[in-house]
Amino acid sequence: MIRRHLLSVAILAGLVTLLLTACGATSTATDWTFGKSLAIRVKEIRLTEDVLYSFDGKHYVVKPSQPDRTLAAAYVELRTREANVVYLSINKDTIRLRGVDDKKNYLDYRSTDPFLERAEVAATGSREDALVPFIWGEVSLPQQCGNMPYCELKGWVLFEVPRDVKFYQLIWDTGDTIYLYF
């Protein structure tokens, strides 16, 4: 009888610990969120000091512009829904990452243009192209691609954020307006 009681207490304590840990953590992914013409989700966010990639035989690095900042790389997946064609203009004004501070103030961070806010480097290391392809620029997505009932776009969007950022939501505002909550 005492063993059964101790086992019940241990299981209850474990569940409470798991719940408290989950409530205190900042999520780095979202569920699928649906608009009229798009379905979108953030599969993951990685914080990184720099992003290294190659393009047309040259090597580039994207770094934060301030020493107290880091890059947040969001892996975004989006799909067409009901529209025949969805036109997207993916740029600094159409995607925002919203954080929240300790006083519950919302702070918006505009996306970083990986093709303008970069520096050319002689060579990069093993991390080159780890965070590509980028989702950026002008894109048109038809309703269907091949035998699939939708077209899909997957890739990374970069943001310059404080090192201690707490993610609240990603705001997608091209082709549809969708708020994705972490």
What stretch of H or E contains 23? helix 2-24
**85 located within any domain:** yes
Neighbours of 123 (CB within 10 A): 8
Question: How do residues 40-49 score in pLDDT, each as one tens digit?
Answer: 999 999 999 9
- List of residues 6+ apart from 5 with CB closer than 8 A: none
Average the pLDDT over each of 18-32, 74-88, 163-177 and give the range with the smallest value: 18-32
The residue ranking higher by pLDDT, 135 or 145, is: 135
Q: How far apart are CA 38 and CA 45, in angstroms?
A: 20
The arithmetic mean of pLDDT across residues 113-141, rounded, is 93
Q: What is the pLDDT of residues 19-33, one digit of tens each?
A: 333 333 456 899 999
Amino acid symbol at 8: S
Query: Which DSSP category does 134 fall into?
Result: B
Total domains in the chain come to 1
In a domain, 21, yes or no: no
In a domain, 5, yes or no: no
Whole-model pTM: value is 0.82
Tell me the range of 3-17, 61-75, 144-158 where mean pLDDT is highest.
Answer: 61-75
Residue 12 included in any domain: no
Given a contact cutoff of 8 angstroms between Cβ atoms, the answer to whether 54 and 124 are in contact is: yes
What average pLDDT does the segment 126-130 reach?
91
The answer as to whether 69 is a domain residue is yes
Q: Which residues span the domain enclosing 61?
A: 28-181
The CATH number covering residue 65 comes to 2.60.40
User: Is residue 18, in this structure, part of any structural domain at all?
Assistant: no
Whether residue 155 is contained in a domain is answered as: yes
Both tokens assigned to 180: 């994705």
Contacts of 84 (CB under 8 A, 6+ apart): 142, 143
Domain assignment of residue 148, yes or no: yes
